[in-house]
Amino acid sequence: MHREGRVRLIRRREGVRMSTRSRDLFDRAVQLIPGGVNSPVRAGKSVGMDPPFIDRAEGCYLWDADGRRYVDYVCSWGPMILGHGHPSVIQALEAQLPKGTSYGAPTELEIEMARTIVEMVPSIDMVRMVNSGTEAAMSAIRLARGATGREKIVKFEGCYHGHADSLLVSAGSGVATLAIPGSPGVPAGIAAHTVSVPLNDMDAVETAFERHKGEIAALIVEPVPANAGVLPQGKSFLEGLRRLTREQGSLLIFDEVISGFRVAPGGAQELYGVLPDLTCMGKIIGGGLPVGAYGGKRDLMERMAPQGDIYQAGTLSGNPLAMAAGLATLNALRQEGVYASLEEKGRRLFEGLGERARAAGVAVTVNRVGSLGSLFFTEGPVRDFASAAASDTSRFRSYYARMLEQGIYLAPSPFEAAFVSTAHSDEVIGQTLDCAARAFKGLASNQK
């Protein structure tokens, strides 16, 4: 990698810190913001490093406050599927900015966004825009409870659907990263309405439905689980969930906040051919701006106020800047060949990581679906939260530091996904694999 991409690390008792300006910014941040960050995983606690503070981004690169360049495989945790500062997104924002940033009133952009989502996502007839994935999942569950007259929901261990109270039971992502068992502040009475079962275990799901027969409003699942690392499920498992929920009079909710518009134009439901009752979306549909949405069949969505009796609202919902950026992103993704290119980039990167690790004698399991994937330091297989949690997190910590030192920016957690964008060139992916080969070689040397 270029010299500007290398990072000098300074060790201290608590772990490893970034140098100079990022270090100074973090020292200031912890005095004013809990943990110094506005979303917990960013703090880097599980990798023993203070975070680099980012100053700017372009294409597949980030530059920190000290001017060091990194190849970005976090992609703002997924939404930057076109890379940073894509010309069509910038043009859309520049066109909208002089017109205003928020109205609190309907706009034509909202109609265009709704039309585009309905055209792209197979199960959706109507959609409601919100401001985050958390809000989308919370609202979809409220709709499911209101529509069925039931209170319980079923979720899967290690799946993260945002930080609403009822969804922090056995959650993945930052909760797993920080080893927090659920979260204080969630009332026991609310948690009691959530039934958590292991991923990829149809027997456990059927047992839960039998035990709570007639009580389950909905089952919510990430069709491509990516919040305890990527944990692919077979099509037959999703088909089993679809069959069971129909038989039991419960709704099936797909949380496609991450997988939506990333693994296929219509998300995982298009990829696997399994259609849910409700879908939660976010990230990519905002083109990098805060956004969320939930949608489904007309008869369900017409239950939402003001047309129906189930209430949900948001001052900034359908924000014109987010709609403009999101529409530009979705239109770019609809161009011929985009998803085939992303698939090939993902294949080359993640298969290449596995090959470099095996060549160095380092045991890893690499899981991938399209342009997102995860590297687990274990012989595997890794199919659920328990097997993900059993991987060697200390080895990930060392790997993360070695990659960051070479200018490769990964999620600072062993329980997150890496993302490829259209801006990652073959040359950049090749350089990344060279860096990984050196990192694995260093890990193998430490074993001896």
Q: Which of the residues are catalytic? A: 160, 255, 283
Q: Smallest Cα–Cα separation from 69: which of 78, 77, 57, 80? A: 57
Q: Which amino acid is at 10?
A: I
Alpha-carbon 425 to chain mean position: 22
CA–CA separation, 147 and 155 (whole Å): 18
E-assigned strands of 277-380? 278-282, 292-296, 365-369, 372-376
Identify whether the C-beta of residue 110 lies closer than 8 Å to the C-beta of residue 314.
no
**Cα distance between residue 116 and residue 118, in whole Å:** 5
Length reported for the chain? 448
Contacts of 254 (CB under 8 A, 6+ apart): 123, 220, 221, 222, 223, 267, 268, 269, 276, 278, 279, 280
**Cβ–Cβ contacts within 10 Å for residue 163, how many?**
20
Distance, in Å, from the CA atom of 448 to the CA atom of 444, rounded to the nearest integer, reads 7
> Coil, strand, or helix at residue 293?
strand
